[in-house]
Amino acid sequence: MNAPAVELTEQTHRRGGGRLGRKALRSAPIASFPTLVRQIPAYEIVPDEAVELIHEESLKILEEVGCEFRDDEAIALWKAAGADVRDTRVRIDRALLMELVSKVPPEFTLHARNPERTVRVGGKNSIFVPMYGAPYIRDLDNKRRYGTLADLNNFHKMAYMAPALHSSSSIICEPMEIPVPKRHLHIIHSALKHSDKPFMGIVTSKERAEDTMAMAAIVFGEEFVRDNPVLVAITNCNSPLVWDATMLDAMRVYARHNQPLILAPFALCGASTPASAVGAVAQVNAEALAGVAFTQLIRPGSPQIYGQFMVTVDMKTGAPMGGTPEAAQMMYLMGALARKYKLPWRTSGFHVGSKLNDAQAGYEANMLMHAAILSGANYIWHSAGWLEAGLTCGYSKFATDCEQLVGWYKYAGGLPFGDFKEAMAAIREVGPQGHFLGTQHTLEHFESAFFMPNIMDFNSFEQWSAEGAKDHDTRGREKARAMLADYQEPKLDEAIAEGLADLIARREEKLPDSVS
């Protein structure tokens, strides 16, 4: 299932020669990988007894310490369910907690406006999703500056062009020139207009979440979005142990529409958790389970994603660090817990602390993506563009990440044995001291046999020098320019486009230009 998609990408996305080659590329359909179905085993970093120990301690945290739910409606729902509620502190009995968590389906379908881009989340399925939330960008001239709507449009275009990205995310970068109260309308419009892949919702207020659902209803149909997942939204617990009103408002909007939420504590380990990898996981697990359980009070059986964002902090400065071994180890633990609960789960892939698309970024990214793949994550977020602990999205980083995702897709898809018999026949055909370059087997398989990146350089030193001695970051920016040059918009139906424009205009008339 996976190999044809890789082969298609290598053929379709290799830039053709000259104007005619580029014209042919633009007229070809944009290749898109199907859902990654992992064919390699999940890595168990600790024995089952250690997973049970963390699980047990997480339950004790919720029973004995409790979790804050700072919202009147949430408190009323917990009281009605039989939890021990005192003011805003909710202590949840383990039987009630696990009963609610068990209602979440282990897998769900995430629909795209183009059905060919629809994906599956959970089980052995994984999808790659670009980054989210950067106020700054590192542009095509390698300058760091505030993001604009034009930048956001470009990143959504690149997400559409990248075959191994399964979603367009939403706030890849903040369009800083647009007033905050109106910004969400243009973010969602860009994701829907410039890509036909699944996208992500806005959670910064109840009204903005409702606007997101209204826009989704225009694209997919009101009845369809009432029950079918078409987006994923992120809600963060404020570690330690606080679900605030803003996040709970968003949970209610999306869960009532059967739209999956990522219930993900945002943990700076050592600052908002104990300075212990296993201690941090026990706390984050408790926070995530409390959020998952709450969604089932809103709509039992609604699809949800158990999640975490756990980075260690530099204990000298307090700054968050990416790509540390502890961050990878904590992913493995969270993956084991997710499998125990039979929950789809989210982690992050290429999130790094480096300011540039440099060697540090590569080391950090490899550490974390390897853990994401081997821990069995289903929703691998921040898989393209992330720099500077999420403060910056880089054009070069986005392009080079997308190329690396093709390799990770192939890695996780397992080793195919379909041509093994033919390969053995080729050995007999060539015999000693020959070569395989002209064999029928090589001619049939050379384009798909191995991962062949275009941005990475494997030429001789002389050839590399003759072509300008360009470093990886420079080649990444060139690739980003090429992706944007080759972009063709997946057009919305005219009536849908007009409906979105009308909704945006009506809402902008009512919304202020600044936050009061």
Q: For 427-464, what is each residue's pLDDT tens digit?
A: 999 999 999 999 999 999 988 899 999 999 999 999 99
Q: What is the pLDDT of residue 320?
A: 82
Quick check: is 406 in a domain? yes
**Cα-to-chain-centroid distance, residue 460:** 36
Report yes or no: 289 and 57 within 8 Å, Cβ to Cβ. Answer: no
Tell me, yes or no, whether 455 lies in a domain.
no
Residue whose C-alpha is closest to residue 169's, from 220, 120, 231:
231
What CATH number should be reported for the domain holding residue 89?
A: 3.20.20.480
Q: What pLDDT is stored for residue 29 in this prediction?
A: 67
Provide the token pair at 489: 């918009």
How confident is the model at residue 270, as a pLDDT?
Answer: 87
CA distance 200 to 185: 13
Tell me, yes or no, whether 497 lies in a domain: no
The pLDDT of 169-186, averaged and rounded, is 98
pLDDT at residue number 147: 98
With respect to residue 55, please indicate whether it lies within any of the assigned structural domains: no
Assess whether pLDDT exceeds 70 at residue 355: yes
Is it the case that residue 103 has pLDDT exceeding 70?
yes
Residue 41 located in a structural domain: no
Q: Cα 114 from chain centroid?
A: 19
Other Cβ atoms less than 10 A from the Cβ of 184: the count is 25
Report the DSSP beta bridge partners of residue 371.
none
Calculate ∠ Cα 125-280-361, nearest 5°: 60
- List phi, psi (to 5°) of 496: -65, -45
User: Is residue 150 in a domain?
Assistant: yes
Residues contacting 88, CB < 8 A, separation 6+: 68, 69, 70, 71, 75
Transcribe 342-377 into DSSP letters.
T--EEEESS----SSSSHHHHHHHHHHHHHHHHTT-
Closest alpha carbon to 42 in 430, 373, 488: 373
Percent of the chain's residues with pLDDT above 90: 88
Query: Contact at 8 Å (CB) between 357 and 472?
Result: yes
**How many domains would you assign to the chain?**
1
Query: Would 450 be classed as within a structural domain?
Result: no
Q: Is residue 479 part of a domain?
A: no
Contact 195, 490 (CB under 8 A): yes
Average pLDDT, the chain: 93
Instruction: Quote the tokens at residue 78.
Output: 């917990």
391-422 pLDDT, tens digit per residue, is: 999 999 999 999 999 999 999 999 999 999 99
pLDDT for 283 beyond 90: yes
Q: In which band, very low, low, confident or very high, does the pLDDT at 323 lie, cut at 50, 70 and 90?
A: confident
Range of the domain at 339: 68-413
Distance of alpha carbon 174 from alpha carbon 180, whole angstroms: 10
The pLDDT value recorded for residue 42 is 97
Residue 151 to residue 173: CA distance in whole angstroms: 7
Structure tokens given for 62:
């919720």
Identity at 348, one-letter amino acid code = S
